[in-house]
Amino acid sequence: MTFYDESVDALSFVTPFMIAALPKFHFVVGLVLASLTLAFLARLVLTWYPEVNLKKGFWGLVFLPTEPILALTRRFVAPIGGVDVTPVIWLGIVSLVRELLVGQQGLMSQLLLKNQGIG
């Protein structure tokens, strides 16, 4: 006895419009997640230099998108040995999401391959 209908495709909800927009969406999602990865990596390195003013100069580009997320996380995760570990946590989360969505075996990458008839 099976609990599902084998004749129904798991991707039957994907419309032709979604398929046409998928390469651009894949690119944008990959770019945003890669940018966030670099921003959290920069914040991680900057935890070693507490004298740097993150609100001035180039560092504002790193500070503005990451600080709201890090501030929220700091409510739940206390510094360990006086070191802020929240950038490490978010670096891991963003890297995982990036790999699951747009990585070589990611969901969106697999949809692209199936659409191109490769997979």
Query: Locate tokens 């046409």: which residue?
Result: 20
- Are 115 and 25 in contact, with CB atoms under 8 Å apart? no
Query: Locate tokens 């991707």: which residue?
Result: 11
Quote the pTM value: 0.78
Condensed to tens digits (0 to 9), the pLDDT of residues 82-99 reads 788 999 999 999 999 999
Measured between alpha carbons, how far is residue 111 from residues 5, 12, 105 in Å? 21, 12, 10
The residue ranges of every structural domain in the chain are: 18-115
Residues 6+ apart with CB under 8 A from 77: 85, 86, 89
User: Mean pLDDT, the chain, as a whole number?
Assistant: 84
Closest to 9 measured CA to CA, from 101, 100, 118, 115: 115
Condensed to tens digits (0 to 9), the pLDDT of residues 46-60 reads 888 888 888 888 888
